[in-house]
Amino acid sequence: MPPRLRRGPGRPVELSDAIGKATSKASGKAIEAELKKKNGKAVWEIEVLADSGKVVEVDVDADTGDVVDSETQKK
């Protein structure tokens, strides 16, 4: 993992855990995931195809596992 995305001293949040949080938040199936740096923090950016048919982007903090943001993507 590049140093700029290195997670904090706690146990890092695994991708599978982040996907679980994201799919619970958006009620659907994960279709894409990427580790990114946003606002100085490492976050898992998960795109979820919601049961409604819309794509929802859910950001999960890579240190804590908390959902920090979500938004429905516009076409």
What local confidence, expressed as pLDDT, does residue 20 receive?
A: 97
The CB density around residue 17, as the number of other CB atoms within 10 Å, is 15
21-71 pLDDT, tens digit per residue, is 999 999 999 999 999 999 999 999 999 999 999 999 999 999 999 999 999
12: pLDDT confidence band, cut at 50, 70 and 90? confident
Asked whether 31 and 9 are in contact (CB, 8 A), the reply is no
Domains and CATH numbers, the chain: 3-72 (3.10.450.40)
pTM of the model: 0.83
55-67 pLDDT, tens digit per residue, is 999 999 999 999 9
The rounded Cα 65 to chain-centroid distance in angstroms is: 9
